[in-house]
Structure 1
Amino acid sequence: MSGKVSPLRRLLRYADADRPQVYWASFCSVVNKLFDIAPEILIGVAIDVVVRQEESFLASLGIVDPVHQIMLLGVLTFLIWAGESLFEYFHLVAWRNLAQRLQHRLRIDAYDHLQKQDHSYLEQHNTGHFVAILNDDVNQLERFLDGGANAMLQVLTAVIGVGTVFFIINPTIAMLAFLPIPVIIYGAFWFQKRAEPRYNKVREKVSLLSSRLSNNLSGVTTIKSFTAEAREKSRLEQESTDYVTANREAIAVSSAFIPVIRMAILTGFLLTFCVGGYMSLQGDLEVGAYGLLVFLTQRLLWPLTQLASTIDLYERAMASTRRILDVLSVKSQLSNGGHKLPAKSVKGAISIDSVSFAYQSSRPVINQLSLDIQPGTTVAFVGATGAGKSTITKLLLRFYDPSSGAVKLDGVSLTDWDTQSLRDTIGLVSQDVFLFHGTVRENIAFGEPNASLEAVEKAAKLAEAHEFINELPNGYDSIVGERGQKLSGGQRQRLSIARALLKDPRVLILDEATSAVDNETEAAIQRSLTQIREGRTLIMIAHRLSTIVDADQIVVLDKGRIVQQGTHSELVAENGIYRQLWDVQTGGVA
């Protein structure tokens, strides 16, 4: 449906709450333009006073003395200029405030909507794509509302206002003066139709360029370590060149509009100038009226030269609007069960009942998997890369729903629980630790922003992080840098564990939390596991088998199926996949 509705109409629907502001801004633009064309009318009346004096148009209204007529025109000129200035201020403030408010709401709504989308949708696009929409596309719409909307309204007002005066004074000249208008309007639509796909292409190229910049700046360390600066510069240069090329194609179309309009304007002006002059010489048109028509013709037609740039701005804005509103129109495929989890009474019993799952257009990653996890126990999942370990994490957090079967918490399917309360009940420590730019305390308290310092310190101690935090320059108030770049990998991982523990979740998932840390950090995490596992269900996705030897149950996965299950000692005693993995990592020492 959204593809059939114009972006402007979709925007007006979105901005329904702002209609009073739109009406006020539009009213101010119209009144400002009416005041703007009024001085030309006064000039024509003044010429009429000078030429005809006691027989002028004003004299027919009862003001016979030419001096009084000029004084009246002076007063009217002052009032008109004051009114124009006043409504110039009003429409500038109204449109700019509307632009600011609308771009703010669009950005926040689109960002909030993205946060709530399924992982499947987010993983189909890169970060730069969304950054381009939330930043560049929103700003493009703001630029149009700042000036383009007012320009279009004022052109329309000028055509109607001046046209009315023309037809009142002399319908014949009015017809001649307005002769180019259909050509200009047809040309505007003709160029708009050809510019639209080109500007859509421009927005797509901006998205790709933003993605490249975002990706490269995030991976600058890797680029430097592989001395790939020149290659990455070349790739970025290609993306930028594609953007410039797309822009050049759009500009070539919009720029061609200006010469066409200028020639059409010249035709209308010459017709008024010559025919009106001839009629004035013949006595069929008063000199003042002739002067008025010449001035108004210029006032009517000349602003149309700006129509090309206005349409250019409009097309860019509508291409951006379409992308923004397309994001807002995306519907989540995961329904919200709506039942709030009673957090304090959650036991942490997990049941995976005949679950199968496949990502889009791929073979099943989980295949008819069934498993019961008792509350308060520690269960570890191991297996080769691609066995389905991390997919289980995504299913437990309900980033995805199973293709078939059901995942249950305390006997109730996850699809029946409120998604937010479900995730509040589960803590996650991922292999890919993400820390936000801010202090150590802010990062630990990310899930509980109102937590006291004592609670933060307690979580840090459980995660074996308190000691190194106190050694930082400002302790818990030390800035970690973007993505925690001022900390080591092990320090970031321990902060991530502390952040999860502060939530005090009934279910805690460690998704390969020790796979990329040093031996000292692994030992620290091992020491804290004894305390961490108390009173909660602990699920560990393990790469290093040394971290799971004390698990109550170890589940070995292969191609999405359970091939072994038992304690460490039981599995080492078997001649299976687990024993092979253990031998590789330890040299066969049980």
Structure 2
Amino acid sequence: MVAAVAATTANTAADVAPELLLGVAVDIVVRGSDSFASSLFGIESRFGQLVAVAILNVIVWVIESATDYVAARLWRGLSQSVEHDLRVETYANVQQLDVSWHEGSAPGRVLSVISEDINQLERFLDVGARVILHTFWTVIFVGAVFAATSWQLTLLAFLPVPIIVWGSIRFQRVLEPLYKAVREAAGEVSATVSANLGGLTTIKAFTAEEREIERVRGVSDAYREANRDAIRRSAAFVPLIRMAILAGFTSTLLLGGWFVLEGRLEIGLYTVLVFMTQRLLWPLTDLGETLDLYQRAMASTRRIFALMGERGQQQPGPATLPGPVRGRLELRDIRFGYADGPDVLRGLNLVVPAGETHAIVGATGAGKSSVLRLVLRFSDPREGSVELDGVDVRELTWDSLRGVIGYVSQDVFLFHGTIRDNIAYGRPDATDAEVHEAARLAEAARFIEATADGYDTVVGERGLTLSGGQRQRIALARAILRDPAVLVLDEATSAVDNETEAAIQRSLARVTSDRTALIVAHRLSTVRDADRIWVLAEGRVVEAGTHDELVAAGGLYSGLWAVQTGMAQAGDRLSD
């Protein structure tokens, strides 16, 4: 910043100097041996004086060109650095926000801030800051020349400056809400397009392409209209400045000419002042464009800092788990709900001893996945506590809590990259042998090795080049490779065929033999071998026991089992 300011200052001084040299040259032609250059250079010949002025002019132009290059490099480098730092810091804050915050925010709007708004600020720093500084130093340098010459001309030449400054401030206040509306409209466009691209298969399946095109056209038109309103106001600024410049230039031209005719001002100095007036006032026309960039940048900056200032409800605790981690889980008197909605879990108590495999089952909306959210601390309970090895998870750091948990979600997310990269996501330093072993344990090695590039196969965005069962097994391998003390699975076989389900069941039997596992399942066949099955209904535990115990009890679980195995339908036919 200091170097950029220094370079711009030197560049402005060199930029003003040619007008002074032009006045010296005119003075040489008019006055000859009595000219200012004659006494300055000690040269009698007019042509010799002009040669000296020409050489000095070349030097000034070289300095002006060199400092312009240096200033441009420095300002652009500075703007790129600020842009980089802001983008990383903003993304880092977004990354730290809890899952609940992200669920309530449109990803497209967040993307708009991190991408478009930060780029808008970079454009101002690249151009606008330099223009403002250049204009400031021009006023100082030109003002010094005028002040040394004539206070009357100084007054007339500088008379438009306060008017222009006042007009700039007024325009800023007018433009501020307009550009805020522009940035909000831009965020809406980004959010709509992002959401539509994410749901492209659904749009095509329901032949809603034209409807979504109209939706995008609508938000884009709102963005266009917001821009038009802002442009209509900002475009009026430069013509008004030109009128003020005309008044100052005309005053200097007439009053300075009169002083020359009266013999009160040398013609060379008059030439300097006429050109200096233009040099003083003309850069102020750039204030229109600069003001436009400034207001856009300020609207973007407010959105950037608003996003950087967001804080999630879940903050990490200070404690770490004492080793070795056993993996005992306990939920005590849990009452939990989403946002301001009703309770989803009501007085829930659940214990998973270390090393055992427990399952949570129940009808849709019973609160099964909510239990896993609390264990992973994606959300906190309204009442009660979740404990891992006797320590409240709210007291633990993220690494201490989630670092010992392997998680496989119902909606598996794979990153664009190779299969190996996705398996090793939780342990980037894992060896190829460890990756291959994790794939074998997850029953994924066979289909991976059958692909053309094996573990180097690129899976595409969200892993869409793979089937649902293949994605599930890669996700399971990713969790296994981490060697977690606790394995958490949310409907891991909900969208797979019978063969894939059998493969995942074999894999689970191997990998859960020496670790704690908590499994949410819709298919009861997946968890029939669990050490204990917890049956939820309306946010409460209504039954608990082994598969055989629950079937024999004839309760809710028994009914679910009968429906899934076809026994209920068979019984109905027999009774008929």
Same fold flag (TM > 0.5): yes
1:13 corresponds to: none
For 1:565 and 1:198, locate their aligned partners in 2 and report how far apart those are by CA, in whole Å.
Answer: 61
For 1:302 and 1:519, locate their aligned partners in 2 and report how far apart those are by CA, in whole Å.
Answer: 78
1:199 corresponds to: 179
Return the match for 1:426 from 405, 425, 428.
Answer: 405
Aligned partners of 1:350 and 1:374 also within 8 Å: yes
Return the match for 1:372 from 348, 351, 355.
Answer: 351
Query: What does 1:260-339 align with in structure 2 at a 5 Å threshold?
Result: 260-339=240-319
Amino acid at match of 2:436: E
2:219 corresponds to: 239
Deviation at 1:55, TM superposition (A): 2.6
Amino acid at match of 1:34: A
Aligned partners of 1:44 and 1:289 also within 8 Å: yes
C-alpha distance 405-164 of structure 1, shift in aligned 2 (>3 A): same
2:528 corresponds to: 549
Deviation at 1:125, TM superposition (A): 1.1
Amino acid at match of 1:201: A
Alpha-carbon RMSD across the aligned residues, in angstroms, is 1.6
2:83 corresponds to: 103
2:515 corresponds to: 536
TM-score when normalising by structure 1: 0.93
Alignment pair present for 1:143 and 2:99: no
Amino acid at match of 1:570: E
Return the match for 1:381 from 360, 372, 376.
Answer: 360
Aligned partners of 1:198 and 1:250 also within 8 Å: yes
Amino acid at match of 1:284: R
> Alignment identity in percent?
50
Deviation at 1:44, TM superposition (A): 1.1
Deviation at 1:245, TM superposition (A): 1.1
Bigger shift: residues 497-506 or 315-324: 315-324
Deviation at 1:56, TM superposition (A): 2.4
Deviation at 1:464, TM superposition (A): 0.9
For 1:162 and 1:542, locate their aligned partners in 2 and report how far apart those are by CA, in whole Å.
Answer: 79
For 1:34 and 1:581, locate their aligned partners in 2 and report how far apart those are by CA, in whole Å.
Answer: 85
For 1:177 and 1:469, locate their aligned partners in 2 and report how far apart those are by CA, in whole Å.
Answer: 78
Aligned partners of 2:335 and 2:382 also within 8 Å: yes
Return the match for 2:8 from 7, 29, 33.
Answer: 29
Aligned length: 568
Alignment pair present for 1:463 and 2:442: yes
Query: What does 1:81-160 align with in structure 2 at a 5 Å threshold?
Result: 81-160=61-140
1:441 corresponds to: 420
Deviation at 1:548, TM superposition (A): 1.2
Deviation at 1:295, TM superposition (A): 0.5
Aligned partners of 1:424 and 1:505 also within 8 Å: yes
Deviation at 1:71, TM superposition (A): 2.7
1:375-406 deviation digits (Å, cap 9, x = unpaired):
11111111222222111111111122222211
Deviation at 1:445, TM superposition (A): 0.6
For 2:297 and 2:224, locate their aligned partners in 1 and report how far apart those are by CA, in whole Å.
Answer: 18
1:235-284 deviation digits (Å, cap 9, x = unpaired):
01111111111111111121111111111111111111122112222222
Aligned partners of 2:443 and 2:504 also within 8 Å: yes
Query: What does 1:389-428 align with in structure 2 at a 5 Å threshold?
Result: 389-428=368-407
Bigger shift: residues 71-80 or 230-239: 71-80
2:560 corresponds to: 581
Aligned partners of 2:321 and 2:391 also within 8 Å: no
Return the match for 1:225 from 180, 184, 205.
Answer: 205
Unaligned runs of 5+ in 1: 1-21
1:489 corresponds to: 468
1:206-251 deviation digits (Å, cap 9, x = unpaired):
1111111111112211111111110110101111111111111111
Deviation at 1:62, TM superposition (A): 6.6
Bigger shift: residues 573-582 or 408-417: 573-582
Amino acid at match of 2:285: T
Deviation at 1:68, TM superposition (A): 3.9
Report the secondary structure of 2:36's partner residue: coil
Deviation at 1:566, TM superposition (A): 1.6
Return the match for 1:210 from 190, 197, 207.
Answer: 190
2:148 corresponds to: 168
Deviation at 1:64, TM superposition (A): 5.4
Report the secondary structure of 2:302's partner residue: helix
C-alpha distance 170-457 of structure 1, shift in aligned 2 (>3 A): same
For 2:406 and 2:455, locate their aligned partners in 1 and report how far apart those are by CA, in whole Å.
Answer: 22
Bigger shift: residues 231-240 or 96-105: 96-105
Bigger shift: residues 148-157 or 393-402: 393-402
Deviation at 1:126, TM superposition (A): 1.3
Report the secondary structure of 1:209's partner residue: helix
Deviation at 1:342, TM superposition (A): 4.5
Aligned partners of 1:557 and 1:563 also within 8 Å: yes
For 2:425 and 2:82, locate their aligned partners in 1 and report how far apart those are by CA, in whole Å.
Answer: 29
Deviation at 1:531, TM superposition (A): 0.3
For 1:251 and 1:574, locate their aligned partners in 2 and report how far apart those are by CA, in whole Å.
Answer: 74
Deviation at 1:61, TM superposition (A): 4.2
Amino acid at match of 1:334: Q
Amino acid at match of 2:92: D
Aligned partners of 2:41 and 2:49 also within 8 Å: no
TM-score when normalising by structure 2: 0.96
2:574 corresponds to: none
Query: What does 1:28-47 align with in structure 2 at a 5 Å threshold?
Result: 28-47=7-26
Aligned partners of 2:23 and 2:269 also within 8 Å: yes
Aligned partners of 1:398 and 1:419 also within 8 Å: no
Amino acid at match of 1:515: S
Report the secondary structure of 1:445's partner residue: helix
Amino acid at match of 2:391: V
Amino acid at match of 1:560: G
